[in-house]
Chains A and B, each alone.
Chain A
Amino acid sequence: MTTNVMIVGVGGQGSLLASKLLGHVLVSEGYDVKVSEVHGMSQRGGSVVTYVRFGDNVASPLIDKGEADYIISFEILEAARYMEYLKPGGQVVVNAQEIDPMPVITGAMEYPKDLVSKMEEAGAKVDAVDALMLANEAGSIKAANIALMGRFSKYFQEASLDAWQDSLEACVPHKFLELNRKAFALGRGE
């Protein structure tokens, strides 16, 4: 049995730190884990996706259509883009931030409206969070990724809060630890 988490967003939003944190949590909980990332050109403001898979024995590093139990998204259009990858009834935790992609900037297309209800109609459970506001409250908008992971941890029954706290300490540079702990707690609504 393998559980699948997709972390998606716009290149440069900090998804690599989020996947590092989740990977650390899962290893500390004793799972077999595979994490697949994207480096290179698509990191330049493009749509990026990281796959995190865990269980007793994980084979493929990829998550395919209909396989994701959770989608964590740093941007709302990017959550919508990967809807087909989510199992029916799967959970989406999304930062409500909108970042215009180039076809919108050039005026060729409009930024789609009502994406939360469209995702719900598609069969997903959706929790949209203003992670930028929470991160700002914690001290820096740069911690938005960790605030979002805090919210995700509320839904994620497969790991203990202690594992998250220990992993934050292991993955975040020491001088930013308190900021990120605060962002994580605000994300959890604590």
Chain B
Amino acid sequence: MKQLMLGNKAFARGLYEAGCMVASSYPGTPSTEVTEEAAKYDEIYCEWAPNEKVALEVAFGASLAGKRSFCGMKHVGLNVAADPLFTISYCGVNAGMVICVADDPGMHSSQNEQDSRHYAIAAKVPMLEPSDSSEVLAFVKRAYEISEEYDTPVFVKMCTRIAHSQSIVEEGERAVLKAKPYEKNIAKYVMMPAYAKQRHPFVEERTRKLTEYAEICDLNRVEMGDTSIGIITSSTSYQYAREVFGDKASVLKLGMINPLPVNKIIDFAKKVDKLVIIEELDPIIENHCKALGLTVTGKDVLPMVGEFSQSLVAEKLGIDNKESCKAIPDLPNRPPVMCAGCPHRGMFYTLAKNKCTVLGDIGCYTLGAVAPLNAMEMTACMGASISSLHGFNKALGEESEGSTVAVIGDSTFMHSGMTGLANIAYNQSNSTVIILDNSITGMTGHQQNPTTGYNIKGDPAGKIDLEALCHSMGFERVTVVDPYDLSACDKVIKEELAAKEPSVIISRRPCVLLKYVKVKPALRVDSDKCKGCKACMKLGCPALCFKDGKAYIDETLCVGCGVCQQLCAFDALKEGGN
């Protein structure tokens, strides 16, 4: 049956149909739904691992044991998983192993827009790149075949517009696979120098064979049209090229982006008058073509920055844009904000009030950096808050120790925060770390993690006790506080910053969007009492605005958390209800 399917769901369907048995991932937009959807198939064991390095090693172990396996991540997750990736490339696989990496050109929900294709080239791992949901499903199945035939892990590279677009797919049956029993093979799987030296030539030979495959396989296909322009493209850029040119150009559509073919490109170039390379982010196809001695148009007109669209491609290649309604000027923008009732807000308000320097991390709480709280001054990558705080305090000593904190979410802490905390415990800086424990991985849409007590299917699982963990690392001062209680937050921040030893504050309250969290009725404003002092507006709550000189509560948004009530000196914010 034909159906409309999200790219990520089609990926999961591909895993199912390919007979995948084990999937281990860490959530990250835009890759998350692949593993979430895969977990709906009882035939596939699925889990959220603490981070991408662990997840990739789990998938490798399963492949070694003889079961088709999968690991999914966003582009920056591949930085974390890069260590096992480069050496697993040498080992190869037993049963097939597929890695999803999802790039985010335009940075809809990411801290950078690195191009994952570099990793495929650097680690010498083949990479397929689908351009719609139906190709996603087909390419995942093909990736397993390539993995087993060429003895290599295989990337299927997604991007936001493939992962989070729905298009029509047709489902197939799950494959019945022959067992691939594990066999001891020290020379293949123990990558110490003597054996790794034997494996590297294998990897080079594998790449040579894969290049031959790239020349003949139908993943790379030519669509001849008008020969005045020849376009080489892949992924979502292929769709923009089709949209702009239709049959007014010829297209070499690359479904396999590493290794790239040589003769296929040279033959295509011979058939067209002018070559244009349309690819988002870095000039990878373009540099390959230039190395073959071809003259191409590419990044000289198309940007390296941000994502493409049909209009951008048309405009940069000199095709007129369409007429439209006029833009309405000077509209206020609408940046993302912490939700009404978000437990992080009370803690950030307190940190701003105490004029703390806040080194931040990756999650919803990165929004603590925006107006009006402006209460975060650094965010780089998963876990960097804690390790950077240690460096900051080692550099400045008492000058910073009493006013500087790290903030990190529960899931990010499990991902990469523990090692930074171990460094503080070991090398002893007088640092104050705040774990914002909202009992879920929030930003990516509510995934369980090792501190929540539930697994990916929502069934009870092991639960790591954050207090016990911190104590066991040697922290004497571990305090739990409710971020809805502003005076308690203020007290604990002042005490822990004044203390002359390292400390951890656990700011604990579940994400207000979790289904089990009972919200209260919207508050209401007693307009006789409201003096219009705007003290409550300092919170930056989207449910609170200012109308006709008084506070105004949007009852469709307010969840009655009561944090604003604590700021009102006139008792003007009243509990709602009937």
Contact = CB atoms under 8 A, between A and B. Distances in A.
Interface string A104-148: 111111111001001101111000000010000000010000000
B41 to A, nearest CB: 21
A25 to B, nearest CB: 10
Given A60-B240, A100-B545, A10 B3 contact: no
B572 interface: no
A39 B4 contact: no
Interface string A32-47: 1111111111111111
A80 interface: yes
The interface size bin for chain A is 35 or more
A90 B322 CA distance: 14
Interface string B287-327: 00000000000000000000001111000000001111111
A105 B544 contact: yes
Interface in B2-47: 2-4, 6, 29-30, 32-33
Contact of B109 (A42, A64, A88): A42
B161 to A, nearest CB: 5
Contacts of A27: 2-4, 168
Contacts of B310: 59-60, 62, 64
Contacts of B443: 40-41, 44
Given A45-B339, A65-B324, A101-B334, 8 more contacts: A34-B132, A36-B164, A39-B109, A39-B445, A40-B109, A102-B337, A102-B542, A123-B325
Interface in A133-171: 141
A49 B65 CA distance: 44
B326 A123 contact: yes
B161 A61 contact: yes
A131 to B, nearest CB: 11
B321 A119 contact: no
A37 B164 contact: yes
Nearest to A34: B167
A35 B29 CA distance: 17
Contacts of A83: 324-328
Which among B240, B328, B542 has the greatest number of chain A C-beta atoms within 10 A? B328
A12 B109 contact: no
Contact of A45 (B6, B32, B542, B544): B542
A178 interface: no
B112 interface: no
Given A32-B168, A42-B108, A46-B334, A12 B325 contact: no
Nearest to A100: B545
Interface stretch (B91-99, B172-180, B367-375): B367-375
A87 B321 CA distance: 12
A64 B311 contact: yes
Contacts of A90: 325
A143 to B, nearest CB: 12
B338 interface: yes
B544 to A, nearest CB: 7
B243 interface: yes
A12 B340 CA distance: 11
B425 to A, nearest CB: 32
Interface in B335-376: 335-339, 364, 367, 370-372
A108 B327 CA distance: 21
Contacts of B554: 99-100
A102 B4 contact: no
Contact of A35 (B166, B321, B327): B166
B404 to A, nearest CB: 26
Contact of A107 (B32, B167, B546): B546
Contacts of A67: 311, 322, 324
Contacts of B243: 59-60
Nearest to A37: B164
B328 A119 contact: yes
B333 interface: yes
14 contacts: A33-B4, A34-B165, A37-B165, A44-B337, A44-B367, A59-B243, A61-B239, A78-B334, A86-B325, A101-B333, A105-B541, A112-B328, A119-B325, A123-B326
